[in-house]
Amino acid sequence: METYECTICGYVYDPEVGDPDGGIPPGTPFEDIPEDWVCPVCGATKDQFKPVEV
């Protein structure tokens, strides 16, 4: 699964880890996160994330 990086603060969403504090269980692809989810570090919206190039 692809990871996504916040373009504001650099937080990386790893689908294998999820965002348990934000209610996103491990194994959740970025595409399946609700649109109202925000970056747990800086509060940026989901559209502020970009795929991480491997």
Domain ranges of the chain: 4-51
Please tell me whether 9 is known to bind a ligand.
Answer: yes
* pLDDT attached to residue 53: 80
Task: Tell me the pLDDT tens digit for each residue of 14-54.
Answer: 999 999 999 999 999 999 999 999 999 999 999 999 999 87
Nearest to 40 by CA among 17, 7, 12, 1: 12
Which architecture, in CATH terms, is 4-51? Single Sheet (2.20)
Name the helix (H) or strand (E) containing 12: strand 12-13
The confidence score (pLDDT) of residue 49 equals 98
Please tell me the distance from the alpha carbon of residue 20 to that of residue 52, in angstroms, as a whole number. Answer: 21
3 known member of a binding site: no
Q: Which residue has the higher pLDDT, 23 or 1?
A: 23
Which pLDDT value is given to residue 21? 95
Give this prediction's pTM. Answer: 0.92
Tell me: pLDDT of 3 over 80. yes
